[in-house]
Amino acid sequence: MQQIIFFFVRNKYFLLFALLFFISFVLTINSHTYHKSKVVTSANFLSGGIYSIKSSITDYFDLHQQNMTLTEENNRLRTLLFNSGMMDSEMALDSMVLDSNYTFVTAQVINNSYSKTKNNLTLNRGSNDSLKIDMGVISPQGVVGIVVSLSKNYASVQSILNSNSQVVAKFKKSNHFGTLVWDGKQPNIVQLIEIPRLASVVLGDTIVTDGKSTIFPPGIMIGKVHNFDRNEGDDYYDINIELFTDMTSVKHVYLVSQRDAPEIKELEKTVEDVEQ
Amino acid sequence: MWSNSVLVNIVRFITLILVQVLLLNHVNFLGYINPYIYPLFILIFPLKGNKGLLIFLSFILGLTIDMFEDSGGVHAAASVFIAWIRPVVLKYSFGVSYKLNTLKISTAPLSKQIIYIIIMVFFHHMMLFSMEIFNVNHILLILKSTLFSGIFSTIIMVISILLFSRKNI
């Protein structure tokens, strides 16, 4: 017994180090595998608060560019609206609100990273603004990421530039779909994998989200084909996609939620359970 | 005197975290190079200070940075690691005399200070990037990040020691 106590006393620093290192290691592994059960995130009052103070100061520096981006988006949406013929009837607007499957919440990015292999963003909205885990985040130009953790007033978003991130995407022209992943190299290039060789791929083809995953509505812009490659005998293409969103300067974003998402998920879950 | 030193360390702790998360994490030099200054807290923690306390404070320091960066526990792991190996590195760079009361890091010869900083920064960054990237296939990226960020961090730390050291005390 005495020997055990002596052992602990003699090695107390090493044991303390080993314990704390073990905790950090578990937290790290945790963040690499189960992204939804993260323990330590920037969505809390301390880091969220400090980031929003910082953001309220630095917002002014790129105000001009942000205004341009939003004006361009307004322009695009206005074109859509006028050409769809919905503009003159106010009734259409009313019924749209009642019947819309997708609802949007606006938010501002208060912290952004793009230089690591696992990047995250922090938003100034949280569960008080009816945000939910797994909501899709889009910018005026395209897809940004997925909400992975929430506090009352802040949300942490897994960026599309995160090696854990997987988004279902398809060709706008042909509906061939694959998975969008990131190799961690360039902040404007992501990879589209699992596109079968039957698909015809041309440089500059537009890639949009696929409605299958219930996170993003179908048809949200992602990017265009930058270059592609298929080895002889491979069944799938390796495609590099150039993102439409400039992830290094994203500021105003929208969060999408789908009214039917819980129902669809439940249905899919029952089917999976039956198959097992 | 004792409470003064505690106060200095508390202020240093908070200042280094704020400088790190508000300024240095957004440098992104050449796209991916960010310097890290917060390990300076561990480097210049009082030499006579309690080792256990240092290891514990390093954990809190690293975890705070992790919270801001959403990076799991990578900074905590790297910080705890260098806090633990600090006595060995001190002995290597300054000789056994560091245990005597005479030595202060800021009054030691500059070359010895730089060697000490380089060794500590190397271990910290190596651990940090290995944990963050966590993939043997990207070993080249780990080494590249360690080297470039390491050079940057070392320069920043040497400059801040030179600027803020109080030689007259």
Tens-of-pLDDT digits for all 276 residues of chain A? 788 888 888 888 899 999 999 999 988 888 777 655 566 777 788 888 888 888 888 888 888 888 888 888 888 888 888 777 655 555 455 444 545 678 888 999 999 888 888 888 999 999 998 888 888 999 988 899 999 888 889 999 999 998 888 889 999 888 888 999 998 888 889 999 888 888 888 898 999 998 888 888 888 889 999 988 887 778 888 899 999 988 888 889 999 888 888 888 888 888 888 876
CATH number, domain containing residue A217: 2.40.10.340
Q: Is A130 part of any domain? A: yes
pLDDT of the residue at B18: 93
Domain residue spans in chain B? 2-164
Q: Would you call B140 an interface residue with chain A, using a CB distance cutoff of 8 Å?
A: no
Distance CA B151, CA A252 (A): 35
Q: Is A270 part of any domain? A: no
pLDDT > 70 fraction of chain B, expressed in percent and rounded: 93
- The H or E element containing residue A187 is none
**B77 vs A28: CB contact, 8 Å cut-off?**
yes
Q: Is A57 part of any domain? A: yes
Q: Which of A79-93, B22-36, B71-85 has the lowest mean pLDDT?
A: A79-93
Q: Is A16 part of any domain? A: no
Q: Is A186 part of any domain? A: yes
User: What burial letters (b/e) apply to B18-27, b meaning 16+ CB within 10 Å?
Assistant: ebbbbebbee
pLDDT of the residue at A20: 94
Where would I find the H helices in A34-127?
45-58, 63-84, 90-99
pLDDT of the residue at A34: 61
| Residue whose structure tokens are 């097992």 | A276
pLDDT of the residue at A212: 81
pLDDT of the residue at B65: 93
Q: Is A89 part of any domain? A: yes
Total domain count, chain A: 1
In chain B, residues with a C-beta closer than 8 Å to the C-beta of A20 are 55-56, 59, 76, 80
Q: And the tokens for B63?
A: 């975890």
**B67 vs A16: CB contact, 8 Å cut-off?**
no
* DSSP letters spanning B95-147: -GGGGSTT--GGGS-HHHHHHHHHHHHHHHHHHHHHHHH--GGGHHHHHHHHH
Q: What residues make up the domain containing A174?
A: 40-258
Q: Are B69 and A113 in contact (CB under 8 A)?
A: yes
Burial class of residue B11 in the structure, from the number of CB atoms within 10 Å of its CB (0-12 exposed, 13-18 middle, 19+ buried): exposed
pLDDT of the residue at B168: 43
Find, among A165, A238, A150, the residue nearest to A196 by Cα.
A238
**A40 vs B72: CB contact, 8 Å cut-off?**
yes
**A16 vs B52: CB contact, 8 Å cut-off?**
yes
Q: How confident is the model at residue B169 (pLDDT cuts 50, 70, 90)?
A: very low
Whether B54 shows a pLDDT value over 90: the answer reads yes
Distance CA A122, CA A149 (A): 10
Q: Would you call B131 an interface residue with chain A, using a CB distance cutoff of 8 Å?
A: yes
In chain A, residues with a C-beta closer than 8 Å to the C-beta of B131 are 24-25, 28
Q: Would you call B137 an interface residue with chain A, using a CB distance cutoff of 8 Å?
A: no
Torsion, Cα A18 A19 A20 A26, to 10 degrees, reads 100
